[in-house]
Amino acid sequence: MLSIILFFPVIVGVALAVWRGLPARAGGLVWLAATIIDLALLMVLTATAGTGVNGLKAEERVNWMPQLGSSYHLGVDGFSLPLLLLTGVIFVACAIWSLRENDRPRPQAALFLFLQTTCLGLFAAQDLILFFVFFDLSIVGMYFVIAGWGHGNNRRSALLFFLYTFLGSLALLLGFIGLYLGADPHTFDMVELSQRGAFTGTPVAAGFVLAAIVLGLAVKTPTFPFHSWLAPAHTDAPTIGSVVLASLMLKMGTYGFVRIAMPMLPDTWRSWAWVIVIVGIVSVIFGALVALVQTNIKRMIAFTSINHMGYVILAVGAAGVVGRNTAEAQQLAIAGAVTQMVSHGLITGALFLLAGVFYDRTGSYDLGKYGGLAGPAPRFAGFFAVAAFASLGLPGFSGFIAEFQVFTGSIGTVPWALLALPGILITAVLFLRAFQRVFTGETKGLSVGFPDLHRRETMALTVLMVLVVLIGIVPGPLLGMIAPAAELLVGNLQP
């Protein structure tokens, strides 16, 4: 079942790529249908799959290279399931958004279906080699999205993106090889490696392995100081490319922390947790401050992503600080981190779609060139306001649930995580200021004659925003999904 969900998109994608005679409009519809079917299958799986012996749902395992200790091993748990569902939702939104795409729609749909498989595969993989395969393929896919459909200086940005994240992926591969050699018997299986005492190497070796893995994941996340690829890649990527990049591919990094780095090297993680906490706090503040001075809306959102991912890093770092009776706070921090991944995926996806509207209409992302846009485009202004408020963590939206948990959990183990609180304030300032500049006041500049949102645009945004509000008001089901996995991980982290 899981394999079908995984490979269904890419099979449709190949069919689309080969079928030259297909009319452009039909290609978009096929894409949409494929994403909706995939999401439906995923929901069926969520509802029906029972938990297996390893604590994994819908587990599948085929001996692939038994002598190498690598197998085709899939399975979902409380960390991966929310992200798989997020992947399904985001790609549906992208497909709706692109229904009227004019620039080579058929290859684009094929490429995005391919990307969907890589994202799903990464979140479902239970084998390091499999994880790495999907990790790298997502980079290749995104490279072609940016280089092929981007604008501005897209070739250069795509190359920068590829080089930077490829460097990260190689560091990750080195770390994986270290984990493989450190386990006795050698294995790449994530479930086996996550068991207590799986890594038999010396603490120094474990330190280097963790450093390699953290470097690889930090580039992908990205955290300060490995973020320089993010802004150009986002600015020059096509709208839906930015959405997938921000909503899903950044999550691959943070997901790697909770899936690989923490459970497989718990002792080392505890020793170095303070470094992660500092990196998290710096990312939060740095991302917010840099976003504050941007005039390009896409760059601004890109830097708020660094800020938001900083909360996740802070939480996973704080969860590694074990004291007396901190288990509850640790669980809260991890649950907050995963909630933040989902919440950021939905909210930032919406924000990038909205940023794309600016570009589609006028070809400019410059905040200073707009003014009083609420007059000609009230629906657009409404959606932007909701997304901005959600992003700055207002209660009633998913961002609040996430950040509340992150802070409660982090401060519970590391009191000086308080230092990151101003980050929320700064994002609030920057979103309100951007909203005021663009939407309020007298209609001027490029705002004159700005067409409001079309139906398909409204639909895609509604899908995302409804979920944001839903999670904000009824977080129970999501948190219930995450809780068992968080509990297991915290149990693993105890000395």
Partner 1 sequence: MDYAALAPEIVLLAAAVLVLLGGSFLPRNRQIITRWFSLGALGVSAAAGLAGLAGMPEFIFSGSYALDTSTAVVRVLAPLATLVVILLGRHEFIGSVRESETYALLLLATLGTVVIGGATDLLVLVAGYLLASIPLYALIGLSRSGAAAEATLKTYLIGALFGVLLMAGVTLLTGLAATSSYQGMAEALSTAPVVAVAGGAVAVLIGLTFKAGAVPGHFWIPDASEAAGIAIAAFLTTVPKIGALVALGRLIEVMPGTVDVPLLVAILAVASMTVGNLAALAQNNVRRLLGWSTVSQVGYLLMPLAVITTSDGAALALLAYIGLYALTNLALFAVVACFPKRAELDDWPGVARAHPWLTGTLIVSALSLVGTPPTAVFIGKVAVFTVAWDGGMPWLVVVAAANSVLSLVYYLRLIRPAFRTPGPGSAPMDGSVPEAPRTVKATAAILGAAVLAAGVAVTGMWMATHA
The residue ranges that bind partner 1 (CB under 8 A) are: 64-68, 129, 132-133, 136-137, 140, 143, 147-148, 155, 159, 162-163, 166-167, 170-171, 173-174, 177-178, 180-181, 208
Q: Which is nearer to partner 1, 64 or 435 (CB)?
A: 64
Q: Which is nearer to partner 1, 118 or 410 (CB)?
A: 118
Output the smallest distance, CB 177 to partner 1, in A: 5
Output the smallest distance, CB 126 to partner 1, in A: 16
Output the smallest distance, CB 218 to partner 1, in A: 16
Q: Which is nearer to partner 1, 36 or 140 (CB)?
A: 140
Q: In this structure, what token pair is assigned to residue 224?
A: 């300060």
Distance CA 363, CA 385 (A): 21
Output the smallest distance, CB 65 to partner 1, in A: 5
Distance CA 253, CA 172 (A): 10
Q: In this structure, what token pair is assigned to residue 96?
A: 């709706």
Partners of residue 62 on adjacent β-strands: 72
Q: Which is nearer to partner 1, 70 or 307 (CB)?
A: 70
Longest dimension (CA), the chain: 70
- Decide: 152 and 116 in contact? Cβ < 8 Å: no
Distance CA 486, CA 92 (A): 28
Nearest to 7 by CA among 103, 97, 130, 105: 130
Q: Which is nearer to partner 1, 119 or 321 (CB)?
A: 119
Output the smallest distance, CB 110 to partner 1, in A: 11
Distance CA 260, CA 255 (A): 8
Output the smallest distance, CB 72 to partner 1, in A: 10
Q: Which is nearer to partner 1, 96 or 145 (CB)?
A: 145
58 three-class SS: strand
Q: In the chain, what is the straight-line distance between the N-terminal and C-terminal CA atoms, in Å? A: 37
Output the smallest distance, CB 24 to partner 1, in A: 16
Q: In this structure, what token pair is assigned to residue 310?
A: 């900083």
The DSSP string of 425-473 is HHHHHHHHHHHHHHHSSS--GGGTT-----HHHHHHHHHHHHHHHHHHH
Output the smallest distance, CB 393 to partner 1, in A: 37
Q: Which is nearer to partner 1, 165 or 343 (CB)?
A: 165
Q: Which is nearer to partner 1, 162 or 303 (CB)?
A: 162
- Give the CA distances from residue 292 to residues 256, 366, 392, in Å, rounded to whole numbers and listed in that order: 29, 14, 13
Rg over CA atoms, the chain: 21
Length reported for the chain:
495
Q: Which is nearer to partner 1, 172 or 424 (CB)?
A: 172
Output the smallest distance, CB 168 to partner 1, in A: 9
Q: Which is nearer to partner 1, 177 or 432 (CB)?
A: 177
183 three-class SS: strand
Phi/psi at 187 (5° precision): -155, 155
- Give the CA distances from residue 371 to residues 86, 365, 378, 450, in Å, rounded to whole numbers and listed in that order: 34, 13, 13, 11
Output the smallest distance, CB 169 to partner 1, in A: 9
- Decide: 465 and 350 in contact? Cβ < 8 Å: yes
